């Protein structure tokens, strides 16, 4: 298949610039794969779709406030850092702009509580830098760091927690697992009271999730690699759910990719950790999930390709066409869909 097969027209005004004040009041499009029926609901109606004994698998990764604004210690010129990967204690791989100012040996100061030295220039213009500070590095990031919002969001975020799921725990993502942004603690409790079981895994989302597919033939696309951990408690929950004839719902493409990666690696679901660069596109045979909860994704992205693999290509493109026509809100802070 061609990358252009996954293109669609989207009016700019349908790109959500901010989250709703009530997370679970976003719209929810329900697509039933058996009947091909499309229903227009609210996200809190998900409690009527899930049954007693079904399970939800959530990604509990927490977004790092990884965008830093600083000054050159000598010249005072401005610099912007975006933290990517921690290589060793206090040594990070970063993106920066303007990159020409970040030469090896240059020193930068961030809010007078964090300093850095550029160690070397890496491929793709990335830098390796070492930080100096007093206290706890992550507390400092919480104080002065900004959320690394995707480039299509141009409005300022009022509260950093708006770009975190209410169940986020393990810090390390460069972007939020956005399908989970719709859940509230009250809704999770309501689902539990109905008998829906909830399990957690961790996949730290990389900035590669925003990268468009640049090759014409999608099979030639190389996915970025991301770290995951699937606990035994969650793998046991999935096995028990399957044994009881109930459904496993993945909340987001990140949870889906983790589960399918573990199955591909071992031939069954079990506790596991590692890195995955699995690329799921039409023709893929799903082994674990029975339902998918996800947002509406960018044209020509690996995310819409994964959705197309699960719902069917023609079905997915028709659903997206319908969502545009019905004026759903798209992308990270947008509305959601559930595929059963």
What is the per-residue pLDDT across 267-285, written as a single tens digit (0 to 9) for each?
999 999 999 999 999 999 9
Phi, psi of 95 (to 5 degrees): -105, 150
Q: Which residues pair with 116 in a beta bridge?
A: 108, 131
CA-closest candidate to residue 92, choices 138, 60, 54: 138
The predicted-structure confidence for 162-178, as pLDDT tens digits, reads as follows 999 999 999 999 899 99
Q: Which parts of 175-289 fold into alpha helices (H)? A: 185-194, 232-243, 253-266
Question: What pLDDT sits at residue 224?
Answer: 84
* pLDDT band of 86, cuts 50, 70, 90: confident
Q: Which helix (H) or strand (E) holds 201?
A: strand 197-203
The mean pLDDT of 312-328, rounded to a whole number, is: 98
CA 104 from chain centre, in angstroms, equals: 32
Question: What pLDDT sits at residue 156?
Answer: 83
pLDDT over 70, % of the chain: 99
For residue 212, pLDDT over 80 is answered with no
* pLDDT band of 151, cuts 50, 70, 90: confident
The mean pLDDT of 108-132, rounded to a whole number, is: 95
Question: What pLDDT sits at residue 59?
Answer: 98
Taken in order 256, 319, 281, 51, the sign of the CA dihedral is positive
Question: What pLDDT sits at residue 210?
Answer: 64
Please tell me the distance from the alpha carbon of residue 165 to that of residue 185, in angstroms, as a whole number: 10
CA-closest candidate to residue 175, choices 152, 144, 158: 152
For residue 252, pLDDT over 80 is answered with yes
CA-closest candidate to residue 222, choices 210, 208, 205: 208
Residues 6 or more apart in contact with residue 25 via CB below 8 angstroms: 42, 43, 44
The mean pLDDT of 140-162, rounded to a whole number, is: 90
For residue 334, pLDDT over 80 is answered with yes
The mean pLDDT of 211-240, rounded to a whole number, is: 93
Residue 123 is given by DSSP the state: G
Whether this prediction's pTM lies above 0.95 is answered by no
The predicted-structure confidence for 37-71, as pLDDT tens digits, reads as follows 999 999 999 999 999 999 999 999 999 999 999 99
Question: What pLDDT sits at residue 143?
Answer: 93
């Amino acid at each position: 298949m061609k990358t252009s097969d996954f293109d669609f027209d989207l009016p700019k005004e349908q790109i959500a610039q901010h989250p709703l004040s009530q997370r679970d009041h976003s719209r929810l499009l329900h697509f039933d794969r058996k009947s091909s029926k499309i229903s227009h609901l609210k996200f809190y109606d998900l409690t009527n779709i899930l049954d007693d004994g079904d399970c939800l698998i959530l990604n509990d990764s927490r977004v790092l406030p990884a965008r830093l604004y600083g000054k050159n210690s000598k010249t005072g010129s401005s610099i912007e850092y975006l933290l990517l990967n921690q290589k060793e204690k206090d040594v990070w791989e970063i993106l920066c702009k303007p990159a020409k100012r970040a030469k090896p040996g240059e020193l930068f100061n961030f809010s007078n509580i964090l300093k850095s030295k550029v160690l070397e220039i890496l491929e793709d213009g990335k830098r390796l830098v070492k930080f100096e500070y007093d206290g706890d590095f992550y507390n400092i990031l919480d104080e002065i760091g900004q959320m690394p919002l995707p480039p299509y969001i141009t409005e300022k975020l009022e509260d950093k927690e708006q770009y975190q799921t209410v169940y986020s725990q393990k810090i390390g993502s460069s972007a939020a697992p956005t399908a989970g942004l719709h859940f509230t603690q009250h809704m999770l409790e309501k689902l539990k009271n109905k008998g829906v079981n909830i399990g957690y895994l961790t996949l730290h989302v990389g900035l590669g999730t925003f990268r468009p597919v640049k090759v014409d033939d999608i099979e030639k696309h190389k996915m970025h690699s991301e770290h995951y951990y699937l606990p035994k408690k969650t793998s046991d929950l999935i096995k028990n759910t399957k044994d009881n004839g109930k459904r496993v719902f993945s909340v987001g493409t990140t949870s889906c990719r983790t589960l399918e990666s573990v199955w591909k690696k071992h031939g069954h679901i079990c506790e596991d950790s590692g890195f995955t660069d699995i690329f799921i596109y039409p023709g893929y045979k799903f082994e674990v999930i029975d339902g998918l909860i996800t947002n509406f994704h960018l044209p020509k992205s690996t995310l819409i390709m994964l959705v197309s693999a699960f719902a069917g290509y023609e079905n997915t493109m028709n659903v997206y066409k319908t969502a545009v026509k019905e004026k759903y809100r798209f992308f990270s802070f947008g509305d959601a869909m559930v595929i059963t």
